[in-house]
Amino acid sequence: MGPLRVIDGERQASIGARKIEVLLAVLLVRSNQVVTVDQLIREIWGEEPPRRVTAGLHVYVSQTRKFLSRPERSESPVLTRPPGYMLNLGSDRLDCRCFDQLVSQGRDHFRDRRYEDAIHSFEEALSLWRGPPLDDVCRGPILQGFQTWLNEARLECIEMLMDSRMSLGRHRELVSDLFMLSTEHPLREALYRMLMLALYRSGRRADALQVYQRARRTLNDELGLEPGRALQDIHQAILTADDRLELPTFAHHP
C-alpha cells in the first residue's frame, strides 16, 4: 500500500495522469461494486466539474481500460454497469484487502493468546505498507473515507502488535518505539498505556508516572478532556505497585 501501482508478474506500472489515477483508485476501492457517474465526477473534479464532464469521463474510462489491458485477457475488468462503472477484480488481489485479512487473523490469534502467531500476522500486514496510501489523489468522499479507514486500521495493527510483544515480556525493547509512537500520535491513549506498562516492568516507575502527566496535559490542552478509565486505572495501579501489572506466568522474560 502507498502510491497506486499495478503489478502483473514482474511487470509494474503506475499512472502519471492524476485524473485517471483517481478514477482507477475509486474503482479499486469499490471493486465489484457499481460506482455511479455522479460519484466518479465528484471524486475526479470535485464540486465544480467542467462543462463537458461526461465526455471527459468517457475518455478517462477508455484510457483506464487501455492501461489495464492484457493480451491474455479478452474483456476489460472495467465494465459499464448503469448507472456507472464497475471494476471486476476477479482473481486479482488488492494489498488493502490482504492487509485487512492479516489484521483479522492477528486479532483472532491475540484473542486466543497465540501471541507469536499474532505478531507474525501483524508484522506481515505492516510489511505491505510502502508509504501514505493514495496521498495525492484523495479529494472526494470515497477516497478520503477509504484513506481514513486505512490509516486507522494501520494504527490499530501497530497497537495490537505492541500489545502482543508486551504479552510475551518484550517490554524493554518496546520502550523506544512506544515513546516515538506516542509522540507521533499524541491522542492515542492506548499508546500511553502500553508505554507506562513497559516502563514500569522495566523498573522505571517514575518515568511511567511522568508519561501519565504528559498524556493528561496533552489531552487537556487539545481536547479539554481527562484521560480515560483505562489510562487512569494503570496510573493508579502503578502508584500502588499493583501485582496485576507484573508479567503473566506464561510470558517469557527478556
Q: Is 150 exposed, middle or buried (0-12, 13-18, 19+ CB in 10 A)?
A: buried
Peptide bond into 83 cis (omega under 30): yes
Name the phi and psi angles at 213, rounded to 5: -65, -40
Please give the model's pTM, rounded to 2 decimal places.
0.88
Kindly state the percentage of the chain with pLDDT values over 90. 76
> How far apart are alpha carbons 107 and 208 in whole angstroms?
27
> Would you state the pLDDT for residue 6?
86
> Would you state the pLDDT for residue 92?
84
What are 170-213's pLDDT values in tens digits?
999 999 999 999 999 999 999 999 999 999 999 999 999 999 99
> Would you state the pLDDT for residue 249?
58
Rg of the chain in Å (alpha carbons) = 23
> How far apart are alpha carbons 252 and 115 in whole angstroms?
11
- Cα-based angle 143, 147, 150 (whole degrees, multiple of 5): 135
> Would you state the pLDDT for residue 253?
45
> Would you state the pLDDT for residue 136?
66
Name the phi and psi angles at 56, rounded to 5: -65, -40
Q: Nearest-CA neighbor of 121 among 155, 174, 160?
A: 160
> How far apart are alpha carbons 118 and 112 in whole angstroms?
9
Residue 82 to residues 86, 118, 140, Cα–Cα distance (Å) = 9, 43, 21
> Would you state the pLDDT for residue 61?
97
> Would you state the pLDDT for residue 116?
97
Q: How would you write the pLDDT of the chain (254 residues) with one tens digit per residue? A: 777 888 887 788 888 888 999 999 999 999 999 999 999 999 999 989 999 999 999 999 999 999 998 877 778 999 999 999 999 998 888 999 999 999 999 999 999 999 999 999 999 999 999 877 776 666 789 999 998 999 999 999 999 999 999 999 999 999 999 999 999 999 999 999 999 999 999 999 999 999 999 999 999 999 999 999 999 999 999 999 999 898 765 554 44
DSSP 90: T
> How far apart are alpha carbons 194 and 251 in whole angstroms?
16
Q: What share of the chain is helix, strand, coil (3-state, %, to 5)?
A: 60, 5, 35
